[in-house]
Amino acid sequence: QDELSGAPRVPPARTPSPEPTMAFDRIAPLERELASTLTGWVRSDPRGIESAGSFYLNLIDRDHILQDYERAVFDYVTLNLPADKTRIVEVGVGYGILSILLAAAGYEVVAFEGSALRLAGLQFLAESIAERVPGLLTRLHPVCGWFPDALEPSMLEGERQNVLVMTNVVSTATDERRDVILTAAGKFDDLIIDTTRF
């Protein structure tokens, strides 16, 4: 109660503290645009449908296309690694949505994809938003080939920290092939590997 009037005291209104915003939330509209653009690109050409396969055909009709583990990678990278000092090398990027979003966030990104058709989709997507994301095409370096066969030493040169990202490496790779991949991974400063998919 208020000591002077005897009326019940009303506690001051408190402004609720905002929930911590994950880094990905800032770029989610761009992901939705890329998903929509990719849907149109895939559906417009039989080669697009062929390149998508059942995995992507199940994803492209949603309003977002990234998997939860890819969103977690985006958040981890953008919250912990400075864009101006970090180079991301992503293996098996598919249509490269994660690679494109990381490049849009300011990172230099080398994106390896073995399928020329999927890489064409990546390039189409990157070009579709390039005017609105200054420097995107200079930071994004698509590579058509398998990792580490297509890895050139020049791709890792410079002062940047090299971070290898592997979230969707096919689990059917032979033991010998996995050894080759892991040996090449030793050239990197840091690794982000989804061990459930390796």
| Contact by Cβ (8 Å): 118, 139 | no
> Is the pLDDT score of 162 beyond 80?
yes
> Which DSSP letter does residue 114 get?
S
**pLDDT of 15 above 50:** no
| Distances from the Cα of 195 to the Cα of 88, 103, 136, 168, 178, angstroms | 18, 24, 30, 9, 12
Tokens of 49: 């449908």
Q: What is the pLDDT at residue 80? A: 96
Phi-psi domain of 104 (left: phi exceeds 0; alpha: psi -120 through 50; beta: other): alpha
The separation between CA 131 and the C-alpha centre of its own chain, rounded to angstroms, equals: 20
Kindly report which listed range (28-32, 73-77, 155-159, 169-173) carries the lowest average pLDDT score: 169-173
